[in-house]
Amino acid sequence: MLDIEFRNSHPGFSQLTDPAILNATQMQDMLGNETSLLQYTLGDERSFVFLVTAGEISAWPLPGRADIEN
């Protein structure tokens, strides 16, 4: 109950602790024309790097986590 009251009286707090998850279009809308976002996802057998710009989204496969961490 106290948690709900605190969140209601401090709406910025929930934005810090429970941020909204953006979809690809929302991410692209936030990027300027000369801005890029790189996102890495590490997996045991295969990893990926994603490039997001205002105009496109690209992805490339990478080796597994152990190879990258070495």
* Sequence-distant contacts of 46-53: CB under 8 A, at least 24 apart: 52/24, 52/27, 52/28, 53/28
Looking at residue 46, its pLDDT comes to 97
Looking at residue 1, its pLDDT comes to 63
Looking at residue 20, its pLDDT comes to 81
Looking at residue 9, its pLDDT comes to 80
Looking at residue 50, its pLDDT comes to 96
pLDDT by residue, tens only, the chain of 70 residues: 677 787 778 777 777 777 788 898 999 999 999 999 999 999 999 999 999 999 999 999 999 999 999 9
